[in-house]
Structure 1
């Protein structure tokens, strides 16, 4: 069975964490939530605080070898906070160095830029951060989902179905290749 680590903190876009997590779990893929926070983190939904999500482990307890992919939900606050946390950037870099799938939606590609992973890569994102991604060396396109090597990126909550399906398909492909 595949395992996906979801890294988030307070202010994650509610639908960009819960939507993919629900689809992954329906596909038989185990998910865990890691955060610099303990206990619970709160999402952001419709211009106000959303529901709380239980944190399964701290950033210090992550073993990249336990996971097949890293899922980075967006929202404006969540990735902006995480990109200033050296431990969070370390997690992104550890997944990249292990050539694991990294799936980032909305504002979450900010973390890919901060980790120095975008030079020469094709990605998509929320429109307001596209200049940041271009400045980090990415070729930014406007599509619901973009796959480039180990990176999967999407633009917004409306893209959650395509984003989730791309991640599930990649996990199934890697699982079948490993069998």
Structure 2
């Protein structure tokens, strides 16, 4: 079974984070929610989430997918964390899935992962990265880099991640249970 790591920083978008973790767990995918620091963290809307563990505790574990939720100032915290930048570069170099939603594609761009690649994000978040081929689609895949626009696209983003890790049949099963 393929595994996933979702990072959560103070100020990350709760709706995106919970949608991703929830749908992957519905699919039976082992997903770890790791906080940049220990304890409960308040998200961008003031909702506190208690991650499963810390990034330090899983930094050397192997995952098939890493996901960065957006939100501010969470995205800035992710981008300023050398561990995060190193980990996403390492996973990309190992041909693993690297995904980001909302403002978080900025972290991928700052790490150089989106140079010459197609990506989407919350409007204007990639304006300072001219090497990125910015798209306005809700979801964009360029190889194993997957990006999405924002909170309103979180469920579709999460379902795509389920499909990439567990297949189309599992995605369809999870989606049917959502009664969309």
Alignment-derived partner of residue 48 in structure 2: 51
Distance 1:64 1:101 in 2: 15
Specify which of 143, 150, 154 is matched with residue 149 of structure 1: 143
SS in 1 for 2:159: helix
Q: Structure 1 residues 6 and 114 mapped into 2: Cα distance closer, same or farther (>3 Å)?
A: same
Q: Where does structure 1 differ by over 4 angstroms across 4 or more consecutive aligned residues?
A: none
In the superposition, the TM-score normalised over structure 1's length comes to: 0.87
Alignment-derived partner of residue 152 in structure 2: 158
Distance 1:163 1:147 in 2: 11
Q: Over the residues paired in the alignment, what is the CA RMSD in angstroms?
A: 1.7
Q: Would the aligned equivalents of 1:37 and 1:55 in 2 still touch at CA under 8 Å?
A: no
Residue 60 (structure 1) shift: 6.1
Q: Which structure's residues are more often strand, by fraction?
A: 1
Distance 1:159 1:172 in 2: 20
Residue 63 (structure 1) shift: 2.4
* 1:168 correspondence with 2:168: no
Alignment-derived partner of residue 32 in structure 2: 32
Structure 2, unpaired ranges of 5+: 168-180
Alignment-derived partner of residue 113 in structure 1: 109
Residue 92 (structure 1) shift: 1.1
Alignment-derived partner of residue 170 in structure 2: none
Q: Structure 1 residues 110 and 59 mapped into 2: Cα distance closer, same or farther (>3 Å)?
A: farther
Structure 1, unpaired ranges of 5+: 174-179
Residue 105 (structure 1) shift: 0.1
Distance 1:150 1:139 in 2: 16
In the superposition, the TM-score normalised over structure 2's length comes to: 0.87
Distance 1:118 1:70 in 2: 15
Alignment-derived partner of residue 13 in structure 2: 13
* 1:80 correspondence with 2:60: no
Distance 1:64 1:98 in 2: 13
